[in-house]
């Protein structure tokens, strides 16, 4: 190897390698900058697509239809139909009542009466003259003691639980529904008749078309039993007459 040869060729080659390395670093830095810009832009787009911002920007607002990824429209035959006249709903009757009445009355009365006829008159020759009582002055005396006491306690408990179908017979201008239902059951000699009428709000009817009797206004329930069971605990006509007029 010749050590006297100048090393001028070594320096330009190293410098060229350094320049190439710097150029590659600069290109990598530009690529990273571009990726950062794209990432920031993508983040901004994601933020603009947020559900909270979408509800503020959209005129319709945030609903299940435009915000859920799993929302699907029901087929027309599966959608709940709006209630109309002559539709049938189910009424759940659960009526419980308790009535308690107490009364207590007491009356006492004592009377004493004493009367003496001190002077009497007589007619003598067309003139009124005093009449002397040879047996003494007439005297009347009496005593009256009266006592009355009455005490009564009345407690009534009643419950009525059943469910029956009713028909929408009319729709009021404000949307309230007028319902009416009748039920007749005959089992040999036993006969039950139940009728129900009332007015209910459309919103009070559940999705399965059931409504509680507590939500029905102007509620009228008529229940009548005819048969041997009813005759077993019903009052006779004489007992009804006596309880009504109470002669004693």
* Tens of pLDDT, residue by residue, the chain (248 residues): 444 444 444 444 444 444 444 445 444 444 444 444 434 444 444 444 555 555 444 556 677 777 788 888 878 776 777 888 999 999 999 888 887 888 888 888 898 888 887 777 778 777 777 877 777 778 888 888 888 888 888 887 888 888 999 999 999 999 999 999 999 999 888 898 999 999 999 999 988 899 999 999 999 999 888 888 877 777 788 877 777 776 65
Give a yes or no: residue 232 inside a domain. Answer: yes
Give the model's pLDDT for residue 60: 61
Give a yes or no: residue 164 inside a domain. Answer: yes
On whether both 104 and 133 belong to a single domain, the answer is yes
Give the model's pLDDT for residue 44: 45
On whether both 54 and 129 belong to a single domain, the answer is no
On whether both 108 and 67 belong to a single domain, the answer is no
Give a yes or no: residue 191 inside a domain. Answer: yes
On whether both 137 and 173 belong to a single domain, the answer is no
The single-letter DSSP state of residue 49 is T
Query: Which H or E run contains 71?
Result: none
On whether both 170 and 192 belong to a single domain, the answer is yes
On whether both 194 and 143 belong to a single domain, the answer is no
Give the model's pLDDT for residue 198: 95
Distance set, CA 172 to CA 30, 86, 95, 200 (Å): 74, 14, 26, 10
Give a yes or no: residue 79 inside a domain. Answer: no
- Cα gap 141→157, rounded to integer Å: 54
Contacts of residues 79-83 at CB distance under 8 Å and 24 or more positions apart, as own/partner, are: 80/207, 83/168, 83/177, 83/202, 83/205, 83/209
Give the total number of structural domains in the chain.
3
On whether both 167 and 220 belong to a single domain, the answer is yes
Give a yes or no: residue 217 inside a domain. Answer: yes
On whether both 181 and 142 belong to a single domain, the answer is no
User: Which range of residues forms the domain containing residue 142?
Assistant: 99-154
Out of 108, 134, 154, a domain closes at: 154
Give a yes or no: residue 78 inside a domain. Answer: no
Give the model's pLDDT for residue 167: 95
Give a yes or no: residue 1 inside a domain. Answer: no
On whether both 166 and 236 belong to a single domain, the answer is yes
**The two structure tokens encoding residue 141:** 């005396």
On whether both 183 and 196 belong to a single domain, the answer is yes
The angle formed by the CA atoms of residues 231, 234 and 237, to the nearest 5 degrees, is 105
Give the model's pLDDT for residue 74: 77
Give the model's pLDDT for residue 165: 94
On whether both 196 and 212 belong to a single domain, the answer is yes
On whether both 169 and 133 belong to a single domain, the answer is no
């Amino acid at each position: 190897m010749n050590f006297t040869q100048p090393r001028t060729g070594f320096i330009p080659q190293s410098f060229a390698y350094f320049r190439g390395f710097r150029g590659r670093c600069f290109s990598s830095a530009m690529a990273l900058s571009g990726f950062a810009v794209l990432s920031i832009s993508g983040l901004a787009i994601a933020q603009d697509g947020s559900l909270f911002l979408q509800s503020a920007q959209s005129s319709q607002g945030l609903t299940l239809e435009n915000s859920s990824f799993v929302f699907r429209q029901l087929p027309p035959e599966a959608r709940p139909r709006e209630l109309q006249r002559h539709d049938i709903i189910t009424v759940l009757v659960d009526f419980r009542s308790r009535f308690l009445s107490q009364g207590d009355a007491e009356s006492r009365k004592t009377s004493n009466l004493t009367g003496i006829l001190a002077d009497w008159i007589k007619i003598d020759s067309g003139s009124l003259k005093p009449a002397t009582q040879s047996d003494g002055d007439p005297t009347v005396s009496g005593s009256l003691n009266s006592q009355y006491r009455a005490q009564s306690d009345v407690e009534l408990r009643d419950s009525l639980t059943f469910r029956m179908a009713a028909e929408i017979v009319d729709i009021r201008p404000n949307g309230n529904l007028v319902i009416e239902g009748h039920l007749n059951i005959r089992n040999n000699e036993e006969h039950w008749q139940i009728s129900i009428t009332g007015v209910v709000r459309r919103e009070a009817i559940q999705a399965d078309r059931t409504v509680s009797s507590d939500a029905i206004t102007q509620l009228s329930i008529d229940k009548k039993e005819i048969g041997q069971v009813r005759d077993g605990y019903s009052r006779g006509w004489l007992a009804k007459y006596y309880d009504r007029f109470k002669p004693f």
